[in-house]
Structure formats: structure tokens, C-alpha cells
Amino acid sequence: MILAMKIDDSSREAVLARLKPHLPTLDLCFRAAWERWTEWLKRLDGAPSDVTPRSRASVLYDFIVAEAVKSFLGTKDIKVRKEHGFLVLRFQDRVALRFKKFRNRNLNVSANKTGQTELFNSQTLEFPPGSLKPMTHVVAGYLLDSLAMDITRLAITCTCDGVPLWAPIDILPAPAPSVKRLGGTQPAPKATVRSAWERPEGETGSS
């Protein structure tokens, strides 16, 4: 209780504390959406280059939203809302999260200006019931590599009118459980191929 009183609800530490249990689920939402996108692209007639970056971002966003609704709907202390023209996840009525594509290594997002997005970008869209203090508005986003062949970084950012309020929170995959063999000779480990955006625990991205 004392610690909670000392930490501002809008601080990076407070937001991370609320979101940390859900970071693996957010990672899976992006992962599943990207897999759906790549499989969908394979079934299209013509070359992949026929699909414009804008169309790709739109379809991928729809897939991410579908995965997020499926994963978080009905979860305790999380509200899934789509009444503002885009999906917002409310964590404990303290953090409002939406999904976006990052445009560059600085993790900037595109300026799709509407009345609702302007309020979200200015940290004034979502309020807890009966409170005059707005929630902390954050963006969970993805950054593609230069060829748009894979996701290179997943992160959560917090800005106000485009100005970062604190350092990004990286979304990392949950660590795989270690399995120890009992007795006998252990077989040689199989070679694995790691995606550019599946970094081991503790390793930070350079993007």
C-alpha cells in the first residue's frame, strides 16, 4: 500500500506493474496476427508486392484486434471497448491501451486525426468511472524490418501530443520452460531458427 501511494499511476513503473502479467498475451496477439497475415498473403493471387503498405497495415490491424478481443474478453479487471472507432483495452480502469503500427525506429505512429484519436493522443479520452483524472493512454505497437518481411520490435509507448512521456516498454515473448532430462545420454540439441523479433529474455532490441 505504501509503495502504491508513492508511485504515480501514470509513471512507467506503475503502468509496467499493471501490464506486466499481460505482456506474454499481448506478444501472442501480435504473433498470431502476423502468422495469419503471412498465411493469408500466400493464398492471394498475384505477387505480394501488389498489396500496398496501407492495405497491409489495415488487414494486420484487424487481425491484431481480433486476437486481442479473443484473448482479453472476459478477463478480470480488463475491459474491451470498441465504441470510439478503434479498440481500447482498459486495464483496471487505470491504463487505456490501443494498437498501432510504428513508422520508424523512434516508434512514432501515423497521424490519423479524428476527434477520438486526438483525445487519445492528448491523454484525455478514457476516464475511470466517477473520476476526473484520465487514465494513462498507451500504444502497443509493432515495427517491421526494412523489407516488411518480419516484425523486429514490439513495444508499448506513452506520449502526449506526440511527445514521449517515458521510455518504451518492450514486449518480449514468455521464456520457454526449461526441461531437464533424468539420467541417460542427452541427445544433441536440434538446430532452431529464431525470428528476428523473438529475443531471449533480458536482451533488448536495438530498433
CA 129 to chain centre: 25
Please determine, for residue 3, whether its predicted confidence score (pLDDT) is greater than 90: no
**Nearest alpha carbon to residue 159 among 114, 120, 104, 111:** 120
Pair 89, 68: CB distance under 8 Å: yes
Q: Which amino acid is at 41?
A: L
Percent of the chain residues past pLDDT 90, beyond the cut: 66
Give CA separation, 194 vs 41, 54, 153, in Å: 21, 27, 14
Tell me the domain boundaries of the chain. Answer: 9-170
Q: Which residue has the higher pLDDT, 197 or 81?
A: 81
Question: H or E segment at 169?
Answer: strand 163-170
The maximal CA–CA distance of the chain, rounded, in angstroms, is 65
Mean pLDDT, all residues of the chain: 84
Q: What is the pLDDT of residues 73-131, one digit of tens each?
A: 999 999 999 877 899 999 999 999 999 999 999 999 987 788 899 999 999 999 999 99
Please determine, for residue 196, whether its predicted confidence score (pLDDT) is greater than 50: no
Pair 154, 60: CB distance under 8 Å: no
Confidence (pLDDT) at 74: 96
Confidence (pLDDT) at 176: 58
Tally the C-alpha atoms within 13 A of residue 126's C-alpha that lie toward its C-beta: 26
Q: What is the pLDDT of residues 151-192, one digit of tens each?
A: 999 999 999 999 999 999 999 765 656 544 444 444 444 444
Entry pTM: 0.79
Q: Which residue has the higher pLDDT, 39 or 187?
A: 39
Q: Highest mean pLDDT range out of 52-56, 65-69, 145-149, 195-199? A: 65-69
Please determine, for residue 201, whether its predicted confidence score (pLDDT) is greater than 90: no
Confidence (pLDDT) at 49: 82
Mean pLDDT of 22-46: 94
